[in-house]
Amino acid sequence: MTDTPRPDRAQTIRPKYIGKKVERFEDPRLLTGRGRYSADIKADRMVHLAFVRSDQAHARIVSVDTSDAAEAPGVIAVYTAADLPELPELSAPSAMKDYHATVCPALARDTVRHVGEAVAVVVAQDRYLAEDAAALVMVDLEPLGATADPVAALKPDAVPLHDNVPGNKVLERSFATGDAPGEIAKAAHTVSGRFRMRRKSPLAMETRSYVAQYDTGRDQLVLHTSSNIPGIVRDELARLLHLPGNRFQVVSPDVGGSFGGKGSVYPEEIIVVMLARELERPVKFVSDRLEDLTSTSQAFDEIIEATLAFDEDGIFIALDAEVIGDIGAYSIVPWTAALEPVQVVSFLPGPYRTPHYRGRVRGVCTPKPPTGPYRGVGRPMAVFAMERLVDLAAAKLGVEPDEIRRRNLVRPEEFPFRIGSGIRWDRSGFLECLENAVAAVDVASFRKRQTEARENGKWLGLGFGTYAELTGIGSRIAVAPGMPINTGTETAAVRVDSTGAVTATFATASHGQSLETTLAQIVAEELGVRPQDVTIKQGDTSLTPHGTGTYASRSAVIGGGAAIVSTRALLKKVQAAAGVLFDVEPDTVETGDGEIFVPGTNHHITFGDLARAVYSDMKALPLEARKPLEAQEAFDPWLGTTTAATHVAEVEIDAETLEIRITRFLVAEDCGRMINPLVVDGQVHGGVVQGIGAAILEELHYDETGQLLSATLADYLIPTAAEVPTLEVNHIETELPDNPGGFRGMGEGGTIGAPAAIANAISDAVAHLGIGVEELPMTPNKLFRLIAERQEKE
């Protein structure tokens, strides 16, 4: 231990790491192929699964003949639901009024309800042999008819999908403030539209994969999963399979993206765990891309019919909306069918002052895979519909789109502001983001270019997408209404071990958000060490008593908040021990760059020195001062915090081919205090690219019988570098939110704002033709049909 003069410490200010462009600690292993994913796990005596899946959307199971498959080379067993009488079923309860929980069997027993639903499972020595044997299973299905269109599914003559879901209506919920219908009836101006975003797939690079290993001697199970919610998976499977939590560990290793698709509990996880215990062998399942497109939960499928009323000055008066959400065949676990459609109607008023609001949503069962969480949950659809109405209102009054937004956005002095659905916005840069974006694009200059381009056969369009969202939602507000799970709390444990090394443990489960880096930056700044000196452990249920994982832009706000309060508690212990060593008051002790010192004195030691004094050198400290250097605290933001942004898209449409090209895209966003600007930019870029996909490319096409017509990546198109322009991101930091770090969540904003901005830009480009965008994705073929229909009417 050293105690020599260090005059340079007299003026030391602890280095700041929050806000710095720290290169990602994950990159050396992930970019060099050294990541460890669930599919990489190998074990002695491991067996592999292949599922036999329904090729019909809605049918009665007459018989399942597994005899030929059971005799195939390398096959260990073949199971149907009849062979596993104890096989549990998935159901997502909710206390929400007028909600009907569906029951999803792990293997279909009597009825299949979507193409891709598992009917049987083959266990073999390797996946190839399992696939070969699965092809030999003969499934006799009797079609029951299907009503795949959600509007038709609500009609009295529709085919019922579940006996306990009357009229295929899983849920209904309404919000009302003031008298929207009455105000609309007497308003000076109204605009209306019927808007729809078609189904899409989360389509993570890594498909869903699971490996379960059972230790017979210890009666312990370990499940490695590609899920981003290992805590929820552990709790749900422990309940369903009657497993004590201390003998059932769920681990999410490296995860190659989720975007919500891996954020639910799946039947395959039940099967893998159950068979590992049944066979007393490691069991592995890795889905292929076809299975991913037909059995992983899918993204938003809603229809909104809405009317916006406003006065002669363009001031919004009332908004009225009817929403139908296609939730697919089953209500997802644990989030329930309410997750997506209820958030659509909740967030529809957006960042605008709309005194009168009425919104009703109905969730409808159809014979398709379930819709589940997807990056932005509900808000991409809500923002698309509202922003189109705003642009329609601007066009009706003959004002620019930015001007009508300027007149109606919630102003700084009006925060906190409660919208008609009850959501409360705290201070965020609604107007600041708009003004920043407007200054960057120069609307007047664009209008000149637009006029000149039309004369040369090019249609240019400019579109705005302005939104607000809740992030880091605390326990006061459930992610899904009525859901019996606390998603608003996070616990962190931070410790200095006997070598002086710092380890921080979280229940988060990163699937690409750089949490190993950003959480390390937070701990480092608070404790006074360097980020590279902090090891972050996460995604393992054995490390924390409770935690629900990573989703809903919560990890920076809630996980970061837990990191701060825990590290501050640890710092007090560090200061107390060092104060005894230095014989000074603890509050005079400071830390920085991994050293502990008293400014203006010759007292200084390293964290390693202090650790030896606390844990090993029995002469250095009295017994009562040798307290373990660790702290564990929980953080709950209670309500959450507001994030806002304005997206601006410029498009160019070829008048002859109708090719849609995005030529410029700008984001002005307020995510509060940035932890790592590199990571923030990466999150914005990735989200915008996914938003571009939703706007002009990605669509899961289903026919009227529920058959998927775009089940390969040759038919289901995703953005490439050719479709994405250089993305411009402007960061705005308004008044910081009331949480320990001043952070706002920002991981979902790209997918929320981009579709609306692009839809408005396309509409602006073709406005001279008298048409506009009411459905996404908007493709050249759909645009051609819109133009043809308009010409027929004329």
Question: Could you please report the per-residue DSSP string of 395-435?
Answer: HHHT--HHHHHHHHBPPGGG-SEE-TTS-EE-S--HHHHHH
Among 761, 771, 734, CA closest to 660: 761
| pLDDT tier at 420, thresholds 50, 70, 90 | very high
Task: Name residue, tokens 């490695």.
Answer: 224
Say which residues have a Cβ less than 8 Å from residue 664's Cβ, sequence separation at least 6.
Answer: 441, 648, 649, 650, 725, 726, 728
The tokens for 679 are: 């990571």
Q: In 31-118, which ranges are continuous DSSP H helix?
A: 67-70
- Count how many residues are written for the chain: 794
| pLDDT tier at 735, thresholds 50, 70, 90 | confident
Amino acid in position 325: G
| pLDDT tier at 13, thresholds 50, 70, 90 | low
The tokens for 120 are: 């049987």
Q: Give the rounded percent of residues in the chain with a pLDDT score beyond 70.
A: 98
Distance of alpha carbon 371 from alpha carbon 695, whole angstroms = 18
- CATH fold group of domain 7-21+489-635: Aldehyde Oxidoreductase; domain 4 (3.30.365)
| pLDDT tier at 11, thresholds 50, 70, 90 | very low
User: Which ranges in the chain are annotated with CATH 3.90.1170.50?
Assistant: 38-145+207-255+262-295
- pLDDT recorded at residue 48: 98
Query: Is residue 5's pLDDT more than 90?
Result: no
User: DSSP assignment, residue 23?
Assistant: P
Kind of pairing between the strands at 302-310 and 316-328: antiparallel
**What is the tens place of the pLDDT at every residue in 192-218?**
999 999 999 999 999 999 999 999 999
Cα 284 to the center of its chain, rounded Å: 26
Distance of alpha carbon 682 from alpha carbon 209, whole angstroms = 25
Distance of alpha carbon 523 from alpha carbon 633, whole angstroms = 13
Please state, rounded to an integer, the average pLDDT across all residues of the chain: 95
CATH superfamily of 38-145+207-255+262-295: Aldehyde oxidase/xanthine dehydrogenase, a/b hammerhead (3.90.1170.50)
User: DSSP assignment, residue 615?
Assistant: I
Q: In 697-748, which ranges are continuous DSSP H helix?
A: none
Mean pLDDT over residues 91-112, rounded? 96
Q: Which residues pair with 502 in a beta bridge?
A: 496, 534
**What is the tens place of the pLDDT at every residue in 597-611?**
999 999 999 999 999
Q: Are 225 and 210 in contact (CB under 8 A)?
A: yes
Query: Is residue 424's pLDDT more than 60?
Result: yes
Query: Is residue 530's pLDDT more than 90?
Result: yes
Query: Is residue 9's pLDDT more than 80?
Result: no
User: Which ranges in the chain are annotated with CATH 3.30.365.10?
Assistant: 7-21+489-635, 302-475+638-793
Q: Is the pTM of this model over 0.85?
A: yes
**What is the tens place of the pLDDT at every residue in 365-374?**
999 999 999 9
Query: Is residue 6's pLDDT more than 50?
Result: no
Q: Are 61 and 108 in contact (CB under 8 A)?
A: yes
The tokens for 764 are: 């602006």
Kind of pairing between the strands at 604-606 and 209-215: unpaired
Residue 98 or 306, more confident: 306
**What is the tens place of the pLDDT at every residue in 157-172?**
999 999 999 999 999 9
CATH class of 302-475+638-793: alpha beta
**CB neighbourhood size of 774 (10 A):** 17
| pLDDT tier at 724, thresholds 50, 70, 90 | very high
Residue 414 or 618, more confident: 414
Mean pLDDT over residues 699-710, rounded? 96
Distance of alpha carbon 709 from alpha carbon 717, whole angstroms = 12
Q: Are 322 and 360 in contact (CB under 8 A)?
A: yes
